[in-house]
């Protein structure tokens, strides 16, 4: 009976064995290429939903949802809803116009009895014909008999330092440039068309530098108090300058926001801004510079949960079933924690604290283990190393679980970057740091950014102390 197995001495069998081995090697190579292709495809499909990329970078936009069917209710306020009216104080009114009845609108009768106190008043803001006044400062001339010379009366400091542009107009130009993202050309056009003020771009540039100098002291004061803050959220984004890539850092404290543009994206920026003795709670993403700073300063860290959720979504969309399962389990575990957080007010404080810590520990036990490789294994290792730093917020309600406050603060700068294409010099960089800090801080504190800039410019022109961006205690 002939043996069905390959003979070790048969040349044909040896050739078949070699061919099978080659085919196996080819299959393994194709499997590796397929895995690499799938990984590259997955990275290419990262978007704002499953990564830290901004929505503007999405290649494929999410489909627009079908328009909702309109109900029977009309738009706007419903019947019975009180009408909102702004009540003006008498001292706010500049001009009063009297509208009189010449005849009865119903019967056309001419005998009308006035009813004092029953008037109705409508209010209207209006731009005056010349909203900006041109002041002429005439310096009296006098001849001194003793020294035989002609002398002129001195100008006041605001006139001397402001030159052609007065203090409040200087502040307005600074606000329009820094707060409204106007280019010099558009700023020049607005001043000329709306205000009948014709200024060259060179003078506008000098005016902006005066505003920058006026904001220097308040900016430096904020920087000096940054290391003493108990909570601070941090983020960074790129900033172009003359073909180079700099980095715009934001430090968002409870009462102010500080921007600084640096040449580095490393931990040395954090050391410069916060020092090595900082004991604050820092909120940020998992970028390596923050982890390096954690080793140098006694800080407490809250890693951004929003970033973590987006990373888990990316894993859950993987073509690898093991990786996708791990990502889905991480998402479900985070949902359980947040469902419990939303029930905080329904539980006694001690019961809530016990339950939330139990949920956290159960989540970390699960998330630290996986048979998956690639980015799933990396995330599991992160949970083993820094897992508890994602849940610092559960012991302190004042700590934000995400870094959204810092990211939102940077959006203003990103818009400015898109419109202006960055800065050209150190002076331009300093201007951006100071005006962005001023506007963001005033908005955070509920203050008028324009009025603050106006106060700072006036103080700068008169040699008085600059106003403070720190909240008054």
Q: Where are the domains of the chain?
A: 305-395
pLDDT for the residue 69: 65
* Full-model pTM: 0.80
pLDDT for the residue 45: 63
Q: Which two tokens stand for residue 395?
A: 């012991």
Q: What is the pLDDT of residues 105-161, one digit of tens each?
A: 888 888 888 888 888 888 888 888 888 888 888 888 898 988 989 998 888 888 888
Q: What is the mean pLDDT of residues 13-19?
A: 79
Q: Which of 238, 143, 134, 132 is nearest to 195 (CA)?
A: 132
Q: Which of 437, 443, 450 is nearest to 167 (CA)?
A: 450
pLDDT for the residue 174: 96
For residue 473, pLDDT over 50 is answered with no
Lowest mean pLDDT among 73-77, 86-90, 171-175, 240-244: 73-77
Q: Are strands 257-262 and 231-241 parallel, antiparallel or unpaired?
A: unpaired
Please provide the distance, in angstroms rounded to a whole number, between the alpha carbons at the two ends of the chain: 103
Q: Is 246 helix (H, G, I), strand (E, B) or coil?
A: strand
Cα(49)–Cα(62) distance, rounded to whole angstroms?
A: 10
For residue 41, pLDDT over 70 is answered with no
Lowest mean pLDDT among 176-185, 310-319, 459-468: 310-319
Q: Which two tokens stand for residue 63?
A: 């489909």
Q: Which of 104, 123, 132, 101 is nearest to 198 (CA)?
A: 132
The answer to whether residues 48 and 281 touch, using CB atoms and an 8 Å cutoff, is no
Mean residue pLDDT across the chain: 87
Of 135 and 397, the one with more pLDDT: 135
For residue 48, pLDDT over 70 is answered with no
């Amino acid at each position: 009976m002939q043996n069905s197995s390959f003979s070790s001495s048969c040349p044909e069998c040896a050739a078949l064995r070699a061919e099978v081995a080659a085919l196996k090697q080819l299959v393994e190579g194709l499997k590796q290429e397929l895995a690499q292709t799938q990984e590259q495809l997955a990275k290419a499909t990262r978007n704002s939903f499953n990564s830290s990329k901004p929505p503007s970078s999405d290649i494929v936009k999410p489909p627009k949802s079908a328009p909702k069917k309109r109900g029977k209710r009309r738009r706007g306020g419903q019947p019975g809803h009180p009408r909102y009216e702004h009540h003006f104080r008498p001292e706010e009114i500049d001009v009063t116009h009297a509208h009189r009845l010449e005849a009865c609108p119903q019967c056309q009768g001419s005998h009308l009895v006035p009813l004092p106190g029953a008037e109705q008043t409508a209010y209207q803001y209006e731009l005056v014909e010349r909203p900006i006044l041109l002041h002429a400062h005439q310096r009296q001339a006098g001849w001194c008999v003793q020294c035989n010379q002609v002398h002129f009366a001195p100008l006041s400091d605001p006139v001397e330092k402001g030159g052609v542009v007065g203090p409040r107009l200087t502040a307005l130009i600074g606000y329009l440039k820094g707060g409204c993202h106007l280019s010099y050309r558009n700023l020049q056009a607005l001043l000329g068309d709306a205000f009948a003020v014709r200024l060259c771009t060179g003078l506008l540039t000098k005016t902006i530098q005066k505003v920058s100098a006026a904001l220097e002291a308040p900016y430096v004061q904020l920087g000096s108090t940054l290391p003493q803050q108990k909570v601070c959220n941090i983020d960074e984004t790129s900033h172009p300058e003359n073909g180079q890539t700099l980095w715009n850092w934001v430090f968002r404290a409870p009462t102010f926001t500080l921007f600084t543009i640096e040449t580095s994206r490393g931990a040395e920026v954090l050391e410069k801004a916060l020092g090595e003795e900082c004991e604050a709670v820092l909120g940020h993403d998992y970028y390596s510079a923050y982890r390096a700073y954690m080793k140098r300063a006694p800080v407490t860290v809250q890693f951004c949960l929003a970033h973590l959720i987006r990373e888990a979504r990316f894993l859950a969309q993987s073509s690898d079933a093991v990786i996708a399962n791990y990502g889905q389990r991480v998402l479900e575990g985070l949902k359980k924690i947040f469902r419990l957080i939303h029930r905080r007010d329904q539980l006694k404080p001690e019961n809530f604290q016990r339950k939330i810590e139990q949920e956290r520990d159960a989540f970390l036990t699960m998330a630290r283990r996986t048979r998956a490789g690639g980015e799933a294994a990396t995330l599991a290792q992160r949970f083993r190393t820094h897992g508890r730093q994602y849940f610092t917020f559960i012991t302190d309600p004042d700590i934000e679980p995400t870094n959204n406050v810092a990211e939102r603060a940077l959006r203003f700068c990103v818009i400015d970057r898109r419109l202006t294409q960055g800065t050209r010099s150190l002076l331009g960089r300093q201007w951006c740091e100071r005006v962005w800090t001023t506007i963001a801080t005033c908005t955070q504190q509920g203050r008028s950014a324009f009025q603050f800039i106006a106060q700072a410019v006036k103080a700068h022109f008169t040699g008085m102390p600059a106003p403070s961006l720190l909240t008054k205690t």
